[in-house]
Amino acid sequence: MTTCTPRAAWLNLLRRLHFSIGLFVGPFIFIAALSGTLYVATPQLENALYHDALYGVSDGARQPLAQQIAVAQQATGGQLCIHAIRPGLTDNETTRVMFADPALGVSENRALFIDPRTLQVKGDMTVYGTSGILPLRQWIDYFHRSLLLGDIGRLYSELAASWMWVAVLGGIALWFYTRPKRRIHNQTQNTRRLHAALGWSLLAGMLLFSATGLTWSQWAGGNVDRLRTAFGWMTPQVNTQLHGTAPAADPHAEHHIHHEYMPEMTTVPADYDEVLQSAQRAGISAVKLEIRPPRSQDKAWTVTEIDRRWPTQVDAVAIDASTMTVVDRTRFSDFPLMAKLTRWGVDFHMGVLFGVVNQLLLIAFGVALCVMIILGYRLWWLRRPAVNSFSTLMKCWLSLPFSGRAITLLAALLLGLALPVMGGSLLLFVLVDTLRWKRQVLSAV
C-alpha cells in the first residue's frame, strides 16, 4: 500500500466518502428534493382544484354545528364514527366533518365538506394527517415519504435524511482544504466552484431538512424520540383523562397523527356547539380549529388550534362535556424552547410557517439542491479516475494512522446505532465499492 501523509489520508477518505454518498444516495436526495418541491408548490393548485368543496356561499346566517354534523352523518349513512370536526369559521369556508373509516389507511379520514349556511354537502373525499391535505397533495406526500411503496419505501427518505448532512459538511470541508490557491478557469473548476457555491448557500437548509426528516423516519425517529424524552424536549399534550394521571407526551405530536380505526363513544351533535363555545370563552381564538370528541366516558373533549403559520397558534384545551368546564390546557407560549423549535422546524419543512414566502424559499431550495446534485455528477464525470488509480473506502480508511482508524470506526459505530439506515448503507457502500474495484481491476488485466 502506498503511504501518504495523515492529511492526505484524511482527504482521500473524505473525498471517497463524499463520492460514495453522491453515487448511491444522491439519486434518493434528488427524488426527495424534487417531490418535496412539488408538495410545497401545490397548495394553491389544490385549493383551486377542490374549490367547490372548500368554499360555500357567503350570504346568509350560519347554521349550528349540530345541524351541519347531522347532514354529514346522514350522507354517510350513520355508520361511521366522527373522528374530528373542523368548523368553517371564516368567510365562506366549509365545515369539515371527518369520519374514521376502517377501509382507509393510517392517518386517513373520510371528510365531508358542509356549507355552514346552506347545509349542502360540497364534497366527500379522503384527507390526510393533521395538515388535512387533500388527495392531490396526499399522493405527492406519499411519493415524497415512501415512493408509494408503503413502510418499506420509507427507507429511501430515511436514507436521504441520514446522509444529506454528512454530504454537505463533507463537501464544505473538501472545498476548504483542496480549493486551488489561484483562480483557474476551465470546465472542471467552473463546475466545482458552482457546486461548492450552491453547497454553501444550501448548508443551513440541508442541515435543517436532515434533522426534521429524521424525526419523521421509521428507524432513526425512535432514537430521536428517546433523546427528546431524556432531555425533556417533548411536545406538551393536553390531558384528556377525567380521572387519573396525565398521559405521556406524544413524541409525534408535531407530525401527522397516526391513528388506527377505533370506535368512539356516542356523542350528541349539539355538544359540538357547546364545546366550541366553551373553548372560545377559555381563550381559544384561532379561526382554524379542530374539535375531537372523547373516545370513552372517562375522557375529555379537545379543542385544538391548528394554525401553523407565524405567529403559531396551537393552543389546546380539554373540556369535560358534563360541566362544560376546561379541565386542562396547553399554551404554545409555555412550550419548552426545543419543543417550539421542533414545531417551527417541521412547519417550515412543510412550507406552511411563513405562508407564500415559505413556499418560495423551499421551491428555490429544492430546485437549487437538484441542480447541485446534477453538477456533482458532472464534476465526477469530468474528473473520473482511470482504472489503475481507482480507490475504495476501505483502502482510504486503512491508509489512516491508527488513531484515525479508531476514531472513525467508533464514530461509524455510534452513528450506525443512532441512525440504523446510515449504518447499514455504509456497510453496503464498502461492499459495493470493493466489488466494483475488483471487477475493474480484473477487466483491465
Q: Is 330 exposed, middle or buried (0-12, 13-18, 19+ CB in 10 A)?
A: buried
265 vs 263: CA distance, rounded Å: 7
* Average of per-residue pLDDT across 410-428: 96
Do 127 and 194 have their domain in common? Answer: no
Q: For residue 35, tell me if it sits in a domain.
A: no
Do 253 and 318 have their domain in common? Answer: yes
- Mean pLDDT of all residues belonging to the chain: 90
With a cut of 60, say whether residue 206 has pLDDT above it. yes
- Looking at residue 387, its pLDDT comes to 47
Q: Which of 328, 349, 370 is the last residue of a domain?
A: 349
Q: Who contacts 80 (Cβ-Cβ below 8 Å, separation ≥6)? A: 99, 100, 101, 110
Report the percent of the chain where pLDDT is more than 90: 76
46 vs 352: CA distance, rounded Å: 14
Q: For residue 1, tell me if it sits in a domain.
A: no
DSSP for 335-403, please give it: S-HHHHHHHHHHHHHTT-TTTHHHHHHHHHHHHHHHHHHHHHHHHHHHTPPPGGG---HHHHHHTS-HH
Query: b or e along 364-380 (b: 16 or more beta carbons within 10 Å of the residue's beta carbon)?
Result: ebbebbbebbebbebbb
Q: Which of 93, 122, 143 is the last residue of a domain?
A: 143
- Taking only the tens place, the pLDDT of each residue in 276-292 is 999 999 999 999 999 99
- Taking only the tens place, the pLDDT of each residue in 145-204 is 999 999 999 999 999 999 999 999 999 999 999 988 778 888 889 999 999 999 999 999
Do 107 and 213 have their domain in common? Answer: no
Q: Which of 283, 317, 349 is the last residue of a domain?
A: 349
H or E stretch covering 83: strand 81-86
Of 299, 295, 301, 238, nearest in space to 271 by CA: 301
* Average of per-residue pLDDT across 28-34: 98
281 vs 302: CA distance, rounded Å: 14
Query: b or e along 384-413 (b: 16 or more beta carbons within 10 Å of the residue's beta carbon)?
Result: eeeeeebbbbebbbebbeeeeeeeeeeebe
C-alpha cell at 42: 401545490
Do 227 and 270 have their domain in common? Answer: yes
Instruction: For CA atoms 191, 194, 197, 199, give the dihedral sign.
Output: negative
Do 228 and 260 have their domain in common? Answer: yes
Do 431 and 378 have their domain in common? Answer: yes
Q: For residue 36, tell me if it sits in a domain.
A: no
Of 440, 436, 438, nearest in space to 20 by CA: 436
- Taking only the tens place, the pLDDT of each residue in 305-326 is 999 999 999 999 999 999 999 9
- Looking at residue 445, its pLDDT comes to 58
The single-letter DSSP state of residue 313 is: B
With a cut of 60, say whether residue 256 has pLDDT above it. no
Do 344 and 278 have their domain in common? Answer: yes
Q: Who contacts 306 (Cβ-Cβ below 8 Å, separation ≥6)? A: 86, 130, 132, 286, 288, 289, 290, 313, 314
- Taking only the tens place, the pLDDT of each residue in 340-357 is 999 999 999 999 999 999
166 vs 175: CA distance, rounded Å: 14
Inter-residue contact 396 to 12 (CB < 8 Å): yes
Q: For residue 50, tell me if it sits in a domain.
A: yes
Cell 410545497, residue?
40
- Looking at residue 259, its pLDDT comes to 42
Do 227 and 327 have their domain in common? Answer: yes
Q: How many domains does the chain have?
A: 3
With a cut of 70, say whether residue 249 has pLDDT above it. no
- Looking at residue 185, its pLDDT comes to 83
- Looking at residue 258, its pLDDT comes to 41
128 vs 163: CA distance, rounded Å: 28
221 vs 158: CA distance, rounded Å: 9
69 alpha carbon, distance to own chain's centre: 32
76 vs 37: CA distance, rounded Å: 35
* Average of per-residue pLDDT across 8-21: 93
Q: For residue 355, tell me if it sits in a domain.
A: no
Report the half-sphere exposure of 311 (CA within 13 A, side-chain side).
6
Provide the whole-model pTM.
0.90
Q: For residue 439, tell me if it sits in a domain.
A: yes
Strand partners, 329: 317
Within 244-321, residue ranges assigned H as helices are 269-281
Do 338 and 202 have their domain in common? Answer: no
C-alpha cell at 13: 477518505
32 vs 26: CA distance, rounded Å: 10
Do 177 and 240 have their domain in common? Answer: no
87 vs 96: CA distance, rounded Å: 6
Around Cβ 188, how many Cβ atoms within 10 Å?
Answer: 13
Q: For residue 37, tell me if it sits in a domain.
A: no
Report the half-sphere exposure of 60 (CA within 13 A, side-chain side).
12
Q: For residue 432, tell me if it sits in a domain.
A: yes
Report the half-sphere exposure of 280 (CA within 13 A, side-chain side).
13
423 vs 285: CA distance, rounded Å: 47
* Average of per-residue pLDDT across 208-218: 94
With a cut of 60, say whether residue 1 has pLDDT above it. no
Do 241 and 277 have their domain in common? Answer: yes
3-state SS, residue 77? coil
333 vs 337: CA distance, rounded Å: 9
- Taking only the tens place, the pLDDT of each residue in 83-131 is 999 999 998 999 999 999 999 999 999 999 999 999 999 999 999 988 8
State which residues form the domain around 305: 223-349
Do 156 and 284 have their domain in common? Answer: no
